[in-house]
Amino acid sequence: MFKTKLKLRWIIIAVLALIGVYYMYEQYRTIRLSPEEIIANPSILNGAIMTGAVYKGLVLKDVTLTGTKFTKIILEKPVFENVVFIDAKFDDMNMKNVQFKNVQFKDCTFITAQISNGDFSEVSFKGGSFSYRGDINSRKRDYSSYIMGVGCDKVLFDAVAMNSVSMNGMEGSITFKNMHNIKKDDSSSVINGNKLTLRIDNCTADGFTFSAMFEGSTAYVTNSTFKNSAFVGENSKAMYFENCKILDGTEIHDAGTLVIKNSTVSGAFSGKGNWYFEGCEFVLDRSRAKLVDMVYEVSSTFEGDKDSHAFVLGSKTKAPWLSVRGGGAVDMYNMNIENFRLIDWASALEVNLRNVAIYGGDFGSESKYYKLKMKGGKWENVQMYPEVNINEHTDLGELKTYNLTFPNGNPWRGTGQVKTIPVKTPFDWPEIHVPTPTEMGLKDTLE
């Protein structure tokens, strides 16, 4: 028993000694210097700890810093130029009115780091993490991590883990690449601002809004997956998606000109402008399929403004459900649709179909308060199969048709109104040109 107690005592002494050595080492690393001393010899910050200080006008130039730790530091009007931070830690740090030019953050950790106002030019964040302090309510502004009100020119986030980080009031060119570990604990967007030029490649967003894009903003997105996410626009200029998965209720609103190419789609699209869907596969919207009311079990919903025009140029497979509402015009070519729905609020809607087979559908609402009165449209080489229900308060307007056929007999059910006007010759269809990124004014910042 005595020997056991003796061993335990020596173990405790050894542990305390190690703690003491670590504490002395941390104290040795901790430095308190004036801005003038740091400017004169910036390499002194290598491996050092800076804590509990306010620096005004700190300038760092032409230096690489490894393992530096900043804790409880306030930087006012810092200027960093040609600086590389490697495995640095920024803990409880506030930077205001920043001027960063050609600055790289490699495998750095930001915890409760707040950067507000100023300019980033050729700034990159590669690897590492950016998060709030996990033991404190992240919704409180004082403990959250954010970048706010910063003008950007060639800013890159590459494989950075983000946890409840917001970028608010941003402007300029920003690239997100290989971002698969983004978490949000509220409904706010990852990034928002005016005149944003976003380039997104190989990223994932699940359950939160990726971007809120305002006046004059654009997005160029490739090889990315969005589930129950959103791109929310307001007077944005253009959005282009290619080789993406836009799934489970993901919303794209007011994109201006919208192009979605060679992508898997089960989302909701609304707003004004021209929309183009080319080479897409429309699949079941799993988030809505869980609802009891089957009207929501759709693969994609198109809700246009009175001046919008959507062009759905084929589907790689049979589209399980498609839903159209709102105004403007929707043109669908070369498609098989399992269930086609024209929903209320479509009083200004024109639907044009060419080389389309419809295997069932539901037009209008059973409620007298939601009347569907369309502007009609042109239908060419359209096959319709039972049952297509036309509800009592539905008027499809005048449908001009060429080669409209019913292979399994009259498909129409219900008491709504449909008036078809057969024509003897095919319609004169305009050639649809899908804009390229260059034509949309988008630049590929990955090159």
* SS3 assignment for 281-330: EECCCHHHHCCCCHHHCCCEEEEECCCCEEEEEEECCCECCEEEEEEEEE
Q: How far apart are CA 419 and CA 200, in angstroms?
A: 46
The pLDDT of residue 419 is 86
The pLDDT of residue 298 is 60
The pLDDT of residue 196 is 96
Q: How many CA atoms does the CB half-sphere of 388 hold within 13 Å?
A: 25
The pLDDT of residue 13 is 56
Q: How far apart are CA 443 and CA 198, in angstroms?
A: 9
* Coil, helix or strand at residue 2: helix
The pLDDT of residue 23 is 43
Q: How far apart are CA 351 and CA 328, in angstroms?
A: 9
pTM of the complete model: 0.89
The type of residue at 243 is N
Reading the chain (447 residues) residue by residue, the pLDDT tens digits are 545 555 555 555 554 545 444 444 444 445 577 888 888 999 999 999 999 889 999 999 999 999 999 999 999 999 999 999 999 999 999 999 999 999 999 999 999 899 999 999 999 999 999 987 654 444 444 457 899 999 999 999 999 999 888 899 999 999 999 999 898 877 779 999 999 999 999 999 998 999 999 999 999 999 999 998 999 988 899 999 999 999 988 999 999 999 999 999 998 999 889 999 999 999 987 766 554 444 445 678 888 888 899 999 998 889 988 888 888 899 999 999 999 988 765 556 899 999 999 999 988 766 666 677 788 899 999 999 999 998 887 888 889 999 999 999 999 988 888 889 999 999 999 999 999 999 999 999 886
Q: So where are the chain's domains?
A: 189-440
> How deeply is 276 buried, as exposed, middle or buried, from its count of CB atoms within 10 A (0-12, 13-18, 19+)?
buried
* Helix (H) or strand (E) run with residue 91 in it: strand 89-106
Q: How far apart are CA 68 and CA 402, in angstroms?
A: 73
Q: Which residue has the tokens 């409620």?
A: 367
The pLDDT of residue 3 is 54
The pLDDT of residue 27 is 43
The pLDDT of residue 240 is 98
Residues in the chain: 447
Q: How far apart are CA 162 and CA 129, in angstroms?
A: 6
The pLDDT of residue 184 is 83
46 in Cβ contact with 84 (< 8 Å): no
Cα angle 342, 346, 352; round to 5: 65
